[in-house]
Structure 1
Amino acid sequence: MSLTGTPFFVIAICLLVIAFVLPLAFWSRLRGPAAVRGLVRLLMLLFAQLTAITVVFVAVNNANGLYDTWEDLLGTGDHAGVAADLGPDGTGGRKLSEQPKEAAVFRPVDDPKVGEGVRVTDLKGRISGVEGEVYVWLPPQYDDPAHRDKKFPVVQLLPGYPGSAKAWFGALQVNKQLKPLMQQGKVKPFILVSPRTTLLGDQTDTGCANTPGKVNADTWLSVDVRKMVTDTFRASDRAADWAVGGYSAGAHCAAKLAIAHPDRYRAGVSLSGFNDPNGEPAALTAATPELRRANNPYFMLKNANDAGKPPHTALFLSGAAGDGFEAAGALKGAARKPTTVRVVKTVGPHGTSVWKTQVPEVFRWLSEQLGK
C-alpha cells in the first residue's frame, strides 16, 4: 500500500481511535497480578503514542509528497541498475537517433489526490540502466481533433529529496492548476512528466548526476525518460520545446541539467534551490570538493562562459532570503548571453505551500520561453 493518499491515512486514523478507546474501556477492568496489569497498561499507552505519531507522519507525508513507498521510507529499494561509465555526454557514445523506439504502456494512477488524467509507467532505461516509475499528464488539447497533428512541448518536473515522483501532481496540484489556464489560452499546452528521482537503496541523494559504479541519474532523466516520452506521445524532441523544473533538491537538479544540456532543455526552473551540492549533505555529489565544484550550477555556468560556450538556456530562479535567493543571485550574476535569468524573491517556509502558489507564474514564464 502506498504511503501517500487516502487509504493509508484512513487506516492510521482508525488505529489511533482504537488506541485511545482501549485505555478508556479496559484500564480499570484489567485483572491479574499487578506486574501484568502494569505491563498491559504501558503497552496501551505506547500503542496510543505510536499511532498518534503515525497519523502526524502520514499527514505531513501526504502534504509534502516525501515517501511514496515503504521501500523509499526504509531505504530498501535500489533502482540504479548497472552504472557503466557513459562518458561526458551521458550516452556512452550511442547515437540516440539510431536507437529503437521506447514506446511505453501507461496505466491510470489510482490515487484521487493527484487528480484526473495522470498516468504512470514503469520504465527501464536502456542507456542509464535505471528502473523506475514515470508519471505523465497530457494537456486538454492533446485529444482534440484540431490538434491531432501537433507535437507538444514538455516540462519535466522533479521533486525534492526525499520526494515522491507524483508530488507535483499531489502536493503542488500542478495539473489541476494548469488545466483551466491551458483551456483559456493563458498557458501553453505542456505535457507534464515526473520521473522517479530517489534511485539508491541506501537513502543517498544522487544529485541527479552520473556516478560510475553507483548510478546514472543524469542519463536517466535527460536521455532515457526524454526518449521514452518522445517515442510514446506526440511530444516534440526539440530542445527548444523542453524544460526541466524542480523544488528544493529537485531545483538544484533542474538548474544543473538545464545548464549542462542546452541541447536537451531550453529552460530550467529552480524553486528554493541551492548551488553547492553540500546543501544536500546526503548527496553523492557532496562527497569531495572536486565533485561539489563539478556539480555546482554556478561553477558549471562560469566554466561554460570561460570556454566561450555560454548555454542557450533560460532560468527561472526563486527563493526566500537564506533559502535559495542568494544562490539565484549568484547564478544571475554569472550569466552571459544567450543565458537569461529571472530571479523572484519569495516569502515563506521551505515547503510545498510556497511552491504551489508559484505554479501559474512559472508556467506563464515557460510559455514565453519554449517554442522559440
Structure 2
Amino acid sequence: MGLTSDKVLVSAVVLAVVLFLATVWLWPRLARRGWRPVVGRVGLLLVTQVALFAAVGLAANRSFLFYGSWADLFGQEQEMGVVVDHAAGSKDVRVVGTQAVDVPGGGRPSVGGQIQKVVVEGERSGIASQAYVYLPPEYFQEKYAKRTFPAAVVLTGYPGTAENLIKGLKYPRTAYLQAKEGRMQPMILVMLRPTVAPPRDTECVDIPGGPRVETFFAEDLPKAVSETYRVGTKARNWGFMGNSTGGYCALKIALHHPDRFAAGAGFSAYYKAAEDVTTGDLFHGDAALRRRGDLLWSLDHGKAGNTSFLVTTSKKGEGNLKGTREFIRKVRSPAQVSSIVLDSGGHNFNTWNREIPPGLVWLGERLRAD
C-alpha cells in the first residue's frame, strides 16, 4: 500500500483508536506497583502516542504531499540508474508511461489531454531526471497538427516530488480548465522537482566540480523538449514557474537567461540561494558565483533583459514579503514585473492553489506559439 493511499491512512487511524481504547480499558489493571505494571503503562502510552503521531502525519502528508512514496519518505530513490534508450527524433527524452488528466473525458487525449512520464537526459550537464509532460487536448487535434505550442517548466519545492504538481497543485487540471474557459492559450507543461541530483538541494546552481543543475534547466531541458514535442526554441516560446525553492529557481533561470525564457513566476519564492545542511558547499569559495545566486544583487548589478516576472507573497503568513517588495522595486526596464499579494496565506499548497490559476493566465499572456 502506497504512502498516500486511503487504506494506509484508515489503517493508521483505526490502529490509533484501538490503542487508545485499549489504554483506557487496561489502565486499572496496570495501576498496581511494581516494575511490570510500570513497563506496561509506559509501553501502552508510547505505542498509542506513536500511532496517533503516525495517523496525523499521514493525514497531513496526504493533504500536502510532502512525500510521494515510502522510498521518498526514507530518503531512498527507487529509480536511480535508469538506462535511457533514446527514441527516434530525440536523443534526450524517453517516454516511459502515460496517464489521463483528471477532467471530464480525460481518458481521450483529444478531449482531456495527456500526461506523459518521461526521462530527460541532459546533453551538456550529463544529468538525467524524471519529469511529467502535460500535453493539452489541442496537441492531439487534427486542426492543430501543424502548430507549435508554448511551454513552461514547472518546479515543485524542496524536497517535494513531481507528483505534487499533478496531485496536490493540480497544474494539468488547472491549465486545462483555464484554456477551456478561454482565459489562457493551450500550453505544454514540463513538471519536475528541482532535486535533479538527489538527495542534495542544489538551488539550481552549477556547482564547481559538482552537478551542473542550472545548465540542465536553462539549456538541456528546453532543447530536449523542443526536439521531442511541437514546442518552439525561442525565448518567447518558453516560461518558467515554481513554488518555494522551485519559485527561486524559476526567477533565477529567467533572470539570468532572458535569451531562453521570456517569463518567470515564483510562488512564495525567496531571493537568495540557501546554504545549509541540505545544500552543502554550493559555491566552493567562489564569491562571484555566490553573488549570482542573490537575485536582488543581480538585479542591481546585472544587465536588464526583456523578461517578465511574477512574484507572490501575503501580508500575513509568508516570510518573503520584504524580499518580494525589494525585488519589485529593483526590476528595471525593459524587464517587467507583476505581483500577487494575498491578505493572508501561509507557505503551503492551499496558498499556492489560490495563486496558480491567475499565474498560469499571466504566463500564457506572455508566451507565444509559432
Q: Specify the SS of the correspondent of 2:94.
A: coil
> Which of the residues 302, 309, 314 maps onto 1:315?
309
Q: Distance in 2 between matches of 1:102 and 1:42?
A: 57
> Which of the residues 90, 96, 101 maps onto 1:106?
96
Q: Distance in 2 between matches of 1:224 and 1:318?
A: 28
* Aligned residue number for residue 171 of structure 1: 168
Correspondence list, 1:148-227, <5 A: 148-201=145-198, 204-227=200-223
* Aligned residue number for residue 67 of structure 1: 67
* Aligned residue number for residue 255 of structure 2: 259
Q: Distance in 1 between matches of 2:78 and 2:260?
A: 27
* Aligned residue number for residue 276 of structure 1: 272
Q: Distance in 2 between matches of 1:22 and 1:74?
A: 30
Matched, 1:250 2:246: yes
Q: Specify the SS of the correspondent of 1:346.
A: strand
* Aligned residue number for residue 225 of structure 2: 229
Q: Distance in 2 between matches of 1:304 and 1:80?
A: 38
* Aligned residue number for residue 367 of structure 2: 370
Aligned length: 348
Q: Distance in 2 between matches of 1:50 and 1:293?
A: 45
Deviation per CA, 1:298-339, whole angstroms, max 9, x where unpaired? 22233322xxxx222110111124633332332232222221
Q: 1:357 to 1:366 in 2, by over 3 A?
A: same
* Aligned residue number for residue 359 of structure 1: 356
Aligned residues: percent identity?
27
Matched, 1:127 2:117: no
Q: Specify the SS of the correspondent of 2:95.
A: coil
Q: Distance in 1 between matches of 2:266 and 2:37?
A: 57
Confirm or deny: 8 A CA contact 2:125 2:216 kept in the other structure. Answer: yes
Which stretch of the first structure deviates more once superposed, 283-292 or 45-54?
283-292
Structure-2-length-normalised TM-score: 0.81
Correspondence list, 1:4-83, <5 A: 4-20=4-20, 22-23=22-23, 35-36=35-36, 38-77=38-77
Confirm or deny: 8 A CA contact 1:140 1:182 kept in the other structure. Answer: no
> Which of the residues 323, 330, 335 maps onto 1:334?
330
Q: Distance in 2 between matches of 1:108 and 1:45?
A: 46
Confirm or deny: 8 A CA contact 1:280 1:286 kept in the other structure. Answer: no
Which stretch of the first structure deviates more once superposed, 174-183 or 151-160?
174-183
Confirm or deny: 8 A CA contact 2:95 2:116 kept in the other structure. Answer: no
Confirm or deny: 8 A CA contact 2:174 2:357 kept in the other structure. Answer: yes
Confirm or deny: 8 A CA contact 2:93 2:119 kept in the other structure. Answer: no
Confirm or deny: 8 A CA contact 2:169 2:349 kept in the other structure. Answer: yes
Shift of 1:363: 1.5
Structure-1-length-normalised TM-score: 0.81
Q: Write the letter of the residue equivalent to 1:46.
A: L
Matched, 1:302 2:280: no
* Aligned residue number for residue 110 of structure 2: none
Shift of 1:370: 0.5
Q: Distance in 1 between matches of 2:195 and 2:24?
A: 43
Shift of 1:37: 5.0
Confirm or deny: 8 A CA contact 1:314 1:339 kept in the other structure. Answer: yes
Q: 1:132 to 1:40 in 2, by over 3 A?
A: farther
Confirm or deny: 8 A CA contact 1:246 1:269 kept in the other structure. Answer: yes
Q: Distance in 2 between matches of 1:333 and 1:80?
A: 43
Q: Distance in 1 between matches of 2:330 and 2:248?
A: 16
Confirm or deny: 8 A CA contact 1:160 1:246 kept in the other structure. Answer: yes
* CA RMSD across the alignment: 3.4
Deviation per CA, 1:89-143, whole angstroms, max 9, x where unpaired? xxxxxxxxxx963241131359989x96433223443432333320122112121
Q: Write the letter of the residue equivalent to 1:129.
A: G
Shift of 1:209: 1.0
Q: Specify the SS of the correspondent of 1:151.
A: coil
Shift of 1:265: 1.0
Q: Distance in 2 between matches of 1:40 and 1:111?
A: 51
